[in-house]
Structure 1
Amino acid sequence: MDAAAHAATAHSADQENAQFLFLAEVIPQLVWITDPEGYHTYFNQHWIEFTGYDVQASKGTEMWNNLLHPDDRQRARDRWNHSLSTGDFYEIEYRFLSKQGGYRWFLGQALPQRDVSGAIVRWFGTCTDIQEQKEKEEQLRLREQELTTLANAIPQMAWMAEPSGHIFWHNERWYDYTGATLEQTQGQGWLEVVHPTYIKNITEHLTQAFATGEAWQDTYPIRNKEGDYRWFLARAVPLRDEDGKVLRWFGTNTDITEQKQLQEQLERSYSDLEAKITFRTLELEHQVQELRRRLGEA
């Protein structure tokens, strides 16, 4: 390569480097660069503003790890060493210490840049603040924990499902009643203990509810561990986040066998009463006609 070509190549490389550094300062993430061995050579201004350490103080192989929460350090070091030794994409969630003294959650990611022979020449990494996402996840976890505690205390059988409708949890009363395990009844497996006559109707209504996010209600018999069926009123409502997105479904099955039997008794009694009234009416009409006949003969 002659001097002119070499100068042109160097100029192009300088331009690419300048463009990268410009983008690294514009994007909201913390940006960093290391050599192939993991020695940090560059941090953008967001890193400096968040940690309080300038580029010179942050250079090296361990400074970044020392700013992590103690519970995250070994896990992060192991994951980073794995990427350095294999060239695999680096991704991890960890907590960084801010200059104010508090920790915030970040998603750390890094990709290797390779030369024409495939050898790694440097790593480009970013740290994206996910503190709000983590707080929402923790709030959801606490809400689910509260729901689980409540669901195990109520007299009904209860269940939870993913937004798609895949059931992943039942309370203890479900297992006590059906005698089934989670493995047998998760997903669509719970339909195995529902009376076959009602499965098609239930599936259609539930599919519509999961697709539209509307509350669901139905009644059908569920088989107990002795093999007998009892009637249940089933209800399900969506648990949503602050934006209205469905996060989970929460459902209950309330035993209404006694009410169903009472209703059937009342319906039979009503039918019997109607039959008796009809019979008595016909009897009276016959008597009236007989009386009219006799009066006509007199």
Structure 2
Amino acid sequence: MLTNGFTSTNSLTGLLKQIGVAAAYLLYGVLTHRYFSLNGVVSVFWPGSGLALAAMLIGGRHYIWGIALGALLVNILSNHTLIGTMGTTCASLVEVLLGTWLLTRNDKFSPSLDTLADYLRLITLGGGVASVIGALIGTSALLLDGFIHQAHYLANALIWWMGDTLGVVLVTPLILACLQTKPEQLTGRQQLEKWLLLGLTFIAGEIVFLGWFNDGFISAPKGFVMFLFITGVALRLDMRITALALNMIAIQALLGAFLKTGYFAQEIASAGFHNFWFYMLILSLVGMTLTIYVNERKQKERSLRKSGNHLHLCQTNGGIGTWEADLINNQQTWSENCFTLLGSSAVKNPNYDYFLSIVHPDDRQQIMDALQSHIECGTKYDVQYRAIAKNGTINWMRSAGQVERNPDGKPALMRGIVQNINERKLFVDLLKQSEQHFRTLANGGTTLIWTSAEDKRCNYFNEPWLRFTGRTFDQELGEGWTKGVHPDDSDCLLQTYESAFDKREFFSIEYRLRNADGFYRGSVTMAIHAMTSMEFFSATLDFATTSPNKKAARESSGRVKRNCEPICTISLISSG
């Protein structure tokens, strides 16, 4: 995780980490100044820049204090004046802060270097761009210090930039790979391969850069030989080992130059490490680019396998198969579940004719017409048909798909699904039977029945209701039925209905309803909310409001409530 804010730590662990960063920076600086710098100050390889950037990317910006301490100690030991010491220290700090900001100012960079884009951002922004500022500030401080002459300003600035950039290119990926990525779980054979490749690379480096066995060669091995070994490491092993191998080769090359032996024997005297810099830069780019590319491929392959497993699980448990049809070559690819659902034998190269042979003869024309209409007119391809399994069983299936066209607009590919809908067809048939049964019961009696949907608007009236009101079904739909309610009863009825609907509770109310002759008749409505849906079911019975026997009316109301309950049960079944 990247930490973009300045924080302080008082824990012993945090203090030890700061001291560790400072000590590592000091060690890198002392060794580089003593053995591999041209004038005791600037070098074409400065590992401290790579260490500092890695520490900031991994641990956060509070590691700036450990970096500052290490840089300050290195510059004090270089015998600079106060201006030179403070200036070069500030150069290192500004450079690493700038590099960290350039990389973490958005979410495009991952310190685990998952993609090639991450690596390129690291070496260009964290290395090449940020090192320009550090080189200019540091060289200016040396100029003010009197350590370098004005005529040598640009040359020293260039060497400073080269050293810090190569430090980021070599050291930062090694630290990030070791601390930000998980090592691969290797088998015994893979472990043997890893150590064999590393061992061969080490021996090749000793031969090329340190002169091992050179007396037995007609001519000394050339530096390009190492590209073969680093390529093998990058292709076969992970990023950790590749970064380790690159740093191992860099150390061997520097030692050979210092000892004046091997491929870079004349490097210090003739080229001032410039050839070494270009060599290691190109070798690192080749090795890291290859290993990250291979790692990306492996990640994508793992992701594809994981997605394939998830798809297979979804298809198996969801009762869905997938297919892909090459419309140009009349070839198809079916998922394993496709064959299972269709009840057919798995064949290597299924095609459209094979599919039609599985379909019931009475349904084939329907499928051909639907497919032709989809391809030519763009209508939706979603068909239901019967498939004959190899054991003779007939299954109801559903197929849906979408055509894909080539740049010329011609149909080239079609992808879709197949689904067993036996249970759905059975449910629909039972639902139709239940609906018909409900309507038969509702229309066969004298009770006035209506239902409403989740929008509180009525969506059904039985035939006794329509005969009583003398209105059509379309006239009563929605809120049309309220026109038959007596004006004095309308507000109370609607308020009671809406309140009961919102609370999902039973209600009963008496009101006057106009019949087909235009007279208002007294009626009682009892309604209940269907628990399996958002519908309301109501039964209404009419009785004369002029009845002199109020007790008889109440008894009639009680009978209505008792008689309503079984009808409500029928409604709940049909609406579920």
Aligned to 1:187, what secondary structure does the other structure show?
Answer: coil
Select 2:543's aligned residue among 242, 252, 256: 256
Who is 2:314 aligned against? 27
Who is 1:146 aligned against? 437
Who is 2:85 aligned against? none
**Range that drifts further, 246-255 or 43-52:** 246-255
Who is 1:55 aligned against? 347
Shift of the alpha carbon at 1:146? 0.9
Who is 2:448 aligned against? 157
Question: Is residue 200 from structure 1 mapped to residue 491 from structure 2 by the alignment?
Answer: yes
Shift of the alpha carbon at 1:152? 1.3
C-alpha contact 1:89 1:112 (8 A) present in aligned 2: no
Select 1:183's aligned residue among 474, 481, 487: 474
Aligned to 2:345, what secondary structure does the other structure show?
Answer: coil
**Residues 35/188 of structure 1: CA separation in 2 closer, same or farther (3 Å cut):** same
Shift of the alpha carbon at 1:178? 1.0
C-alpha contact 2:524 2:542 (8 A) present in aligned 1: yes
Question: Is residue 223 from structure 1 mapped to residue 514 from structure 2 by the alignment?
Answer: yes
Deviations 1:245-276 (A, max 9, x none): 2175432211132686522999xxxxxxxxxx
Q: Summarize the alignment of residues 93-108 of structure 1 with structure 2, pairs less than 5 Å apart.
A: 93-108=384-399
**Residues 162/72 of structure 1: CA separation in 2 closer, same or farther (3 Å cut):** farther
Shift of the alpha carbon at 1:103? 3.3
Deviations 1:218-244 (A, max 9, x none): 2211101111000111122344xxxx5
Q: Give me the whole-angstrom Cα distance separating, in 1, the residues matched to 2:534 and 2:545.
A: 35
C-alpha contact 2:322 2:338 (8 A) present in aligned 1: yes
Aligned to 1:246, what secondary structure does the other structure show?
Answer: coil
Q: Give me the whole-angstrom Cα distance separating, in 2, the residues matched to 1:82 and 1:248.
A: 38
Structure with the bigger RCO (C-alpha within 8 Å, sep 6+) is 1
**Range that drifts further, 244-253 or 168-177:** 244-253
**Residues 203/33 of structure 1: CA separation in 2 closer, same or farther (3 Å cut):** same
Q: Give me the whole-angstrom Cα distance separating, in 2, the residues matched to 1:32 and 1:106.
A: 14
C-alpha contact 2:386 2:397 (8 A) present in aligned 1: yes
Shift of the alpha carbon at 1:168? 2.9
Who is 2:90 aligned against? none
Q: Give me the whole-angstrom Cα distance separating, in 2, the residues matched to 1:38 and 1:137.
A: 39
Q: Summarize the alignment of residues 68-147 of structure 1 with structure 2, pairs less than 5 Å apart.
A: 68-115=359-406, 119-147=410-438
Higher normalized helix content (fraction of residues): 2
Q: Give me the whole-angstrom Cα distance separating, in 1, the residues matched to 2:333 and 2:497.
A: 54
**Residues 176/88 of structure 1: CA separation in 2 closer, same or farther (3 Å cut):** closer
| AA aligned opposite 2:524 | L
Q: Give me the whole-angstrom Cα distance separating, in 1, the residues matched to 2:484 and 2:367.
A: 46
Q: Give me the whole-angstrom Cα distance separating, in 2, the residues matched to 1:212 and 1:109.
A: 41
Q: Give me the whole-angstrom Cα distance separating, in 2, the residues matched to 1:265 and 1:87.
A: 66
Select 2:532's aligned residue among 245, 263, 270: 245
Matched residue pairs, number? 250
Who is 2:126 aligned against? none
Instruction: Calculate the TM-score normalised by the size of structure 2.
Output: 0.38
Aligned to 1:225, what secondary structure does the other structure show?
Answer: coil
Shift of the alpha carbon at 1:91? 1.9
Who is 1:272 aligned against? none
**Residues 200/98 of structure 1: CA separation in 2 closer, same or farther (3 Å cut):** farther
Deviations 1:52-91 (A, max 9, x none): 232347412x433343345543333222211121344422
C-alpha contact 1:209 1:216 (8 A) present in aligned 2: yes
| AA aligned opposite 2:431 | L
Shift of the alpha carbon at 1:204? 2.7
Aligned to 1:76, what secondary structure does the other structure show?
Answer: helix
Higher normalized strand content (fraction of residues): 1
| AA aligned opposite 1:228 | F
**Residues 215/128 of structure 1: CA separation in 2 closer, same or farther (3 Å cut):** farther
**Residues 117/149 of structure 1: CA separation in 2 closer, same or farther (3 Å cut):** same
Structure 1: unaligned runs, 5 residues or longer: 1-7, 267-298
Who is 1:43 aligned against? 334
Larger gyration radius, structure 1 or structure 2: 2
Aligned to 1:221, what secondary structure does the other structure show?
Answer: strand
Aligned to 1:214, what secondary structure does the other structure show?
Answer: coil
**Residues 178/198 of structure 1: CA separation in 2 closer, same or farther (3 Å cut):** same
Q: Give me the whole-angstrom Cα distance separating, in 2, the residues matched to 1:117 and 1:79.
A: 23
